[in-house]
Structure 1
């Protein structure tokens, strides 16, 4: 990966199951309107991914080959969430649920022979603690749900040598309109880009993350967040 890349790629997902409007893509569209902020001198590329294991695999390979981004951020929806979750790692095994076409990876494996867990080089706990967004909590997660979003994340972490992130947003509602989620993404990405720059200079931080309990999930601030891991809720 070109460490001098000035591009950030952000993806959202298309419709799946009964969710004809996917809040992840609606949030990414709002982010595209806002941009990364006047202080961020990087190009923003946004792409919609289908809820399809095989197409995602091809798309992630192309993203890292064609764009060589400084950071790839994938946004998915957790339909049971009441907050935004920053996922620390992607998992290699356990993909048993079929995608939009009913396909599931052979053996439930993302990358045969690959490590069970790949950690993002961004310390998501630290990012959470640095962020304060009005009307929505942002929390750390160590389990992305073993569906297409987790699959996407693992592949992106693999191709990008850890320079990737996965954000789960709640479904659209009166409390969580697309405009709020888009603004939240902007704030989160600004902090992630700053953290990503620091991580390149401090490899010790990445080694510490590699020893973190990958199943851990914790509240942020005063918001006590309860989150059940249910693959039916994710994309």
Structure 2
């Protein structure tokens, strides 16, 4: 298929008390499951380092030019699979795996305080929860001001909002890697359907607009 959608999904390496990072385990499970024939899925493990993220994300967007980039991170506080609506620019005080944090404590010096995803996470959440998956999905507007939030903001900035962030709980609290993989698969498939609808809606509006002009 020439017009395959390209989706890039990232997970994080281990850090702190997360000797196994459930985000990368879940992403590997998703890679095994795939996103269906029409989607070209690429996965990548991201270091828990501000400077590595700064270098890696622009090259991922440039090289792959995905329709959607989805970042997955672990949250020790999460008990559901949590969809993040927005990324934040300021407040990065926590040290990374290299004991570093940005001197300015922000992602982009001249960037807006907050960038929203083009996806309406409440809609995605509702659809996945209604599908009887057996994994609970919820929505959050605070990705935590650490590498997760930093990565999300940077990606939203680079991809004009065509990015998503999903927080997963640690393995076994309460979900297995298989559960998390299935949850990622179902969630990303809903995200792609929503993007497709938006795209068709815009095409339809533009077409209608052109037709109106032709009457003059």
Same fold (TM over 0.5): yes
Query: Unaligned stretches of 5+ in structure 1?
Result: 204-235
Aligned to 2:164: 165
Deviation at 1:135, TM superposition (A): 3.2
CA distance in 1, matches of 2:199, 2:115: 17
Aligned to 2:123: 126
Deviation at 1:174, TM superposition (A): 6.3
Contact 2:79 2:174 in 1 (8 A): no
Q: Secondary structure at the match of 1:172?
A: coil
Q: Secondary structure at the match of 2:104?
A: helix
CA distance in 1, matches of 2:36, 2:196: 17
TM-score under structure 1 normalisation?
0.81
1:172-193: CA deviation from partner (whole Å, max 9, x where unpaired):
0163110110011000000000
Moved over 4 A (4+): none
Name the larger-Rg structure: 2
Deviation at 1:168, TM superposition (A): 0.2
Contact 1:85 1:167 in 2 (8 A): yes
* Corresponding residue to 2:62 among 19, 43, 65: 65
Query: Unaligned stretches of 5+ in structure 2?
Result: 203-216
Contact 1:53 1:105 in 2 (8 A): yes
Deviation at 1:150, TM superposition (A): 0.5
CA distance in 1, matches of 2:56, 2:135: 30
Q: Secondary structure at the match of 1:113?
A: coil
Aligned to 1:28: 27
CA distance in 1, matches of 2:195, 2:51: 29
Deviation at 1:91, TM superposition (A): 0.4
Where does 1:93-108 land on structure 2 (aligned, <5 Å)?
A: 93-108=90-105
Aligned to 2:39: 42
Count of residue pairs the alignment pairs up: 198
1:113 aligns with 2:92: no
Contact 1:122 1:199 in 2 (8 A): no
Deviation at 1:158, TM superposition (A): 0.7
* Corresponding residue to 1:82 among 64, 79, 83: 79
* Structure with more helix by fraction: 2
Q: Secondary structure at the match of 1:44?
A: strand
Aligned to 2:146: 147
CA distance in 1, matches of 2:140, 2:134: 19
Deviation at 1:18, TM superposition (A): 1.7
1:1-43: CA deviation from partner (whole Å, max 9, x where unpaired):
xxx77210000000001211000000000000000024xx020
Aligned to 2:11: 12
CA distance in 1, matches of 2:4, 2:89: 27
Aligned-residue CA RMSD (Å):
1.4
CA distance in 2, matches of 1:37, 1:9: 14
